Every structure is written in structure tokens, then in C-alpha cells.
Structure 1
Amino acid sequence: MILNVKNFLESPDKTWEIKGFLEENESDYVLDGIDIEFPIEYRGVLYNLNPEIKLDLYMKYKYNTSCDRCLKKLQKDVESFVCCYFIKDLGNLEDYDDAMTEYFELKADGIDLSDIIISQVISDTNNKHLCSENCKGLCPKCGKDLNEGPCDCEHEREIDPRFEGLLNLFNEEV
């Protein structure tokens, strides 16, 4: 989704509000393992800072995943924000010495919002998903969901043989 900024750059306006929906992944990024519920809602403000453009972009989207402990299906709601700058020549990037800021090349045809939105979605996706903070997970022996109650397995206390000598450390009288 290309946002044409030519008229904005030629106008005396210093800000431009945008909003809309990204209906599908139009970027080159691959979303393997991320089950996004399209459309992704976005709204933002462009600032003409001459010579660069600043974009403050808010996104709201959902994605489907499963709990990493009990495998229950989940849908996560995410609200995200990204701030980035567009400059005409990335060769002059050393003039912009801020490691915390994202810089993109301002292309003649405009700003590719799809690239920015999808890259932010990828960055925001958690590595660990839980249905609740106190999810008990599955029994390692029988596979029962321990959130629904205990299983009938006998759970012996497994002790690493290297630490077995410490079991009775405090039981001995000196």
C-alpha cells in the first residue's frame, strides 16, 4: 500500500493525518507462523520536517496462536506504535546518528505503509504466549490439561543425581 506524499511535500501543510485498513500483506515480509486476522487498522500523522518526513503510526490488530503450556487456542489483541523517519538519500544516514530511530528511504512513488505495518507486527509478536499467567500446562506423562484438574498419574519426585546428596543436608544433626 503506497502512500503518495508528493502533494503533501509540495503543500504548505506541516502535518497530514492518515487512517485506514491494511486488507492483506502486500509487503515482501513473510508471515510464517503468525496467523494475523486482517484487516489491520492504522492511524497516524505525517510531519514534514524538511528534509525528512516523520511518521507516528498506531496500529490495532488481532492474531491467532496457542498457549505454549496447554496448547489452548488463543486470539491476542494488540495495539502498537511505531515512529520512523523517511529521508531521500540513505547514503547520508551518518548525519542521523540515533540508533533508536528507524530510517527508511523516501522513494519517488511514496511511502510503503504495508512494509512498515507488517515489520512492526513481526517485531511485536511475542515469543511466548500464555492463556493465563498461572497456566499449569499439560501433564508430561498423560497429556491432561492440568488447568481442568489434576490427573491420575503418579508423579515421583525426580531428582538430578548430581544433587541427590543435598536431600538430607539439613536433616543431619551436627
Structure 2
Amino acid sequence: MKVLFSDLISKRERSKDLEYSFDMDKFTFSGEEMVPTEKVLVNGKIISNNTELLLDLNIKTVLKLVCSRCLETFIYPIDIDIEERFTNDDTIEDDDVTFVKGDTLDITEIVESVIISTLPIKRICSSNCKGLCQTCGENLNKSSCNCNDEGNIDVRFAGLKALLENKEV
């Protein structure tokens, strides 16, 4: 959805209600493919304040992500409120206002950028995800494995392990 600065700044009505949805394409983030499973719903208002536009939106969608620990796919709901200020007047020097070249503000592009910027770096299906066994690769959330954990001890901590077990190094 595109909005013209000149339409809102020059009109008597200096605000416009926004309510629309769009299909977001799958995208790659941190080397992984993110797949939207629902339309992106955008609700809010755009308000003109002389040379600035204030965008006050609520964004909702659902993404299908891959867990960083167990590599299973899971559903990640997104419900974000944003408040951003934009201008196309290059004389305004305010760090809180984003400069837009031209007369057009592409709200869909802003919404997609906000969704991507709010994704966690490490995506985990649940806080108690056990991940995969480092030896055999078994998903420890589904079953346990019979691998011996003794071989997975960091050699830098061998002395500490021996001390805790009252052994000589």
C-alpha cells in the first residue's frame, strides 16, 4: 500500500485509517528460509503533522520457522505495534524521523522490514527445547539416546571434573 505525502499534508483531513492485508513472500534471514503461513494484517492510522507523517500501526501474521536447537519447524506468531515518523523534507534534521525520497511512502515495504527486524537471532521452538544429541543427532525432545556423555567433556574442564570427583589429574 502506497501513500502520497502530498495527499495527507495538503488535505483538511490530516489522518487516514489504515486497514488492509497482503501476502508476504517467503524470505531468507540469517541463511534460513522464513515462510509466512497467513496474510499480514495491518491496522492503524497515518497522521499528517505539517511536513511529517506519523505511522501508528499494529501488524499481525504467523511465520513458520526452524528451531535452532532441534531443527523442527514451529509456528511463530507476530503481533507488533509500531510508531514511526517519516518526512520527505530534507531540511528536517531529526534522528527520530526517517527521510523518504520522493512523494510516496510504501507502507507494505515498511511493514515487511519491521517484521524481519523483530525476528530473534536464535529461533527456539520452546524455552525447554533439549535440542539434538551431539553424538548421534537424536532429537532429545522426542526420545532419549544411549550415547555416552563422557566423551563430550571439554578438555579445559577436565581438571575441574577431576577435582569435583576427588581424583588426581
Scaled by the length of structure 1, the TM-score of the pair is 0.79
Matches within 5 A, 1:1-174: 1-24=1-24, 31-32=27-28, 33-89=33-89, 91-94=90-93, 96=94, 98=95, 101-105=96-100, 107-108=102-103, 110-156=104-150, 158-169=152-163, 171=166
Shift of 1:21: 0.7
Question: Does the residue aligned with 1:82 lie in a helix, a strand or coil?
Answer: strand
Q: Give the distance between the partners of 1:169 and 1:152, measured in 2 at CA.
A: 26
Kept after mapping to 2: 8 A contact 1:34/1:63: yes
Unaligned runs of 5+ residues in structure 1 are none
Calculate the aligned-residue CA RMSD, in Å. 2.4
Query: For residues 147 and 24 of structure 1, do their structure 2 counterparts lie closer, same or farther at Cα, with a shift above 3 Å needed?
Result: closer
Query: CA contact under 8 A between 1:60 and 1:78: conserved in structure 2?
Result: yes
The question of whether the paired residues in 1 share the 8 Å contact of 2:2 and 2:107 is answered with yes
1:72 CA drift (Å)? 1.4
Matched residues, percent identical? Answer: 28
| Secondary structure, aligned partner of 1:20 | strand
Q: Deviations over 1:79-132 (max 9, x none)?
A: 11222222122x3242x1x3xx35131632x32112101110110111112221
After superposition, give the CA deviation of every residue in 1:37-77 in whole Å (9 maximum; x if it has no partner).
Answer: 35211012111111211111211011111111111111111
User: In 2, Cα distance between the equivalents of 1:168 and 1:152?
Assistant: 24
Deviation at 1:10, TM superposition (A): 2.5
Deviation of 1:157 (Å): 5.5
How far did residue 160 of structure 1 move?
A: 3.1
Greater mean deviation of Cα atoms: 130-139 or 80-89: 80-89
Q: Report the residue type matching 1:152 in the other structure.
A: N
Structure 2: stretches of 5+ with no match in the other structure = none
Query: What is the TM-score with the length of structure 2 in the denominator?
Result: 0.81
More relative contact order in 1 or in 2 (CA 8 Å, sep 6+)? 1
